[in-house]
Each structure stands twice: as structure tokens, then as C-alpha cells.
Structure 1
């Protein structure tokens, strides 16, 4: 039973390694390097499964270090851009007050769900899913002659998010104006207006992500 489990773990590790190598290596080097690693892994595995797994992980890390910065440069730049924007936004939230006041689940759902659903209906499930894969894989991006449909995914998503943001602003303003009394205005309007504006904030954040994604796909 233990040997069966060990074999399954080894197969899973080899499969993961193959995907990582395919992502990080130039296309002409993937097959020969994976073949050598696969052969050497089984030789070491006969002596010790643990040593074989440790050796394979070290080799994969070495390949990532030496090749991915050139083969997946666009992916790294995209991720750095996204994380930089997130860091700046979070820092702005922190400087503006408590982070909790910038998070509202209903507002997130109002913006994100329609944006995702409309984009999904506009381009189809296959194109929608592959659009996100292209953001993280330069090889796939380079293989495509055109990315118009994939760009459309993020164009529709960004525009829908902005529309829903303004929709949240308008509906929130109507709700406040219809239900607030003169006596409660001073104490209620501020917090209510802040929550109302969160939909626009989330739509701007989603629009920014879509803008960076479009730049990634059109480079």
C-alpha cells in the first residue's frame, strides 16, 4: 500500500514538474530537458523516494531561476504591475482610515458578478477561461496570431463593471433621498454615502485590472 502511495506521489510530482517546465522553458528545450530529468528521477527514486523528490524540486527551481525571467518576462511584468497597484490601493486604504470601512460584500457582488457574467456571455466560456491563461503564459500568447476575442473579454468586463459602479451610485442616492428624514440627515448621510460610493470604488479597481490585462494581451 505504501509503495502504491509513493508511486502516486512521484507521478503527481512529475506531472507538476512537466507543467512548470513547459511554462518556463523555451519550446525547443522542454522535451529534452524533461526527458533527462524524468530518467534521472527514476534512477534516484529506486534508491530513495525522498531524495528523488528533493532532487527534482531542486532541478525545477534551478530551471525556473535560469529560464523563466526571459521566457515569461511579460508574465512577471504583468504580475508586478498588478501587485504594485494592489499595494498602492491598500496603502491608500490604510492611510484613509480603518481597512474594514473599504470592504462591503454586497457592493462587491453588485460590481463583480454582472461584470463576469456579461463578459462570459459575450465571448463564451472557452475564450473567457483562456483569456486568463494567456495573462500568465507568454508561450500561449505568442502562439496566437490575434487576441481580439481575448481582449474583448476584459473590455466587456471593465465596461460592465463601470456601469454597475454608477448603477450602485444612482440607486444608492435614490434610496437615501427616499428614506432619510431631515432630523437624521446629519448622522446618517455620511455613512450611507460612503457605502454607496464603494460600488464605484470596486468598479474602478476592476476597470484598472482589465486595463492592465488588455495591455498585456496587446503587447
Structure 2
């Protein structure tokens, strides 16, 4: 039965979608903008991905969908490995935001090469200021809306989506029917965190929780018994 009053804390039933950010890379550790540059997981990231897979091991999962970039795809494979018959599906629309000429650079390097004024204008107002040569926020919101529609129309009841920090922050806005805003630095989505949405009455997405990383802090024995929702 679909919950028509989520504010009353009724049990969550029906369709659920879990979003996972990929595990860490060396560029994450160095605070370099990655974007569409295909940087693989580092050792810490692989351990994070393994524990995330264990977190989902006891859950009912019908589909695992991933960005095509290797750091996300490898994370997704760790989740799918615990579910017989589930193969990771690549969805290009889930690719990270393209940061153009800023990819591979740290904030310090961006300021030195492009000026502090441009960086802080972008940081405070991504709606109207883009990274040089990068993806516009208009394009990000357009593809985010496409992803939200695709996920809503999927027939499966339990879906895991593995993607990237900036793209997921943009995606959650159309899913919740929120207006476009400067969300990049107002929402924390850590590496291998889990965020969950349910689909309620009227095909409406409802945020169940955001940025759960408890499994990364626990022993393997504890992780396998932790609930997902």
C-alpha cells in the first residue's frame, strides 16, 4: 500500500531508489576537480566500495544502474556482486558534471590560473556562472530531469543508482520538485554514502534519508546486519 501521508511516519512501502556516490579516488584525496576525467578508485575507495556492497548484501535489489565512469562502475559492481542475476547497467546521463578547464586542478590552482573573482562567483552562483569550457547548469538540470523521469518509469521496486557528488546534488532537485538553486555546496554527499528515496502516492518522490555513511565506520560483521531502510 502506498503511503499517502509520509509526514505521519507510516511504514515505507512500494518503490525505493538508493543513491550511492562512488568510492574515493586519489584526486578526491588531493581535492582535485574530477568531473568527466576517468580517475579510478584508490585503495581506500575500493575498501569503501566493498563495505557498501556488504551493506546492500541482505537487501532486496532488482536493478543496479551506474555512471559509465570507472570509479562509479567499480563501486556499482561491488553492490551487484551480492545479488544473483543482477548486472550493472550503464547510464550516460549519470556522468559527473564536466568542469572543463578546471578538471585536474585544486582550488588553489584554479584561483591562480583563472582568478579568485571567477571562482568565487561560480561558487556562490552556479546558476549563472560556469567553469570555463565546462557543462552549464542549464544542461545539468535538463539531464537531471531526464534521469528523474527514467527512474520514475522503471518497473523495478528496489533500484540502486551509483553516481557522482555534483550530479547527484543536481538530480535531487527535480526529483523533489524543488526550484533550481545553488546546491553544490549546501548538500553533503560523501564518498560511498547512501541516500534513499521512496515513491509515494501520485508518483511523487520522497526523501527518506541523505548521506548515510555509518557502514564505512563499522566492522564487516556489523555492516552485513545493518538495515538499508
TM-score, normalisation: structure 2: 0.29
Bigger share in helix = 1
Q: Point out the structure with max Rg over C-alpha.
A: 1
Bigger share in strand = 2
Greater relative contact order (Cα 8 A, min sep 6): structure 1 or 2?
Answer: 2
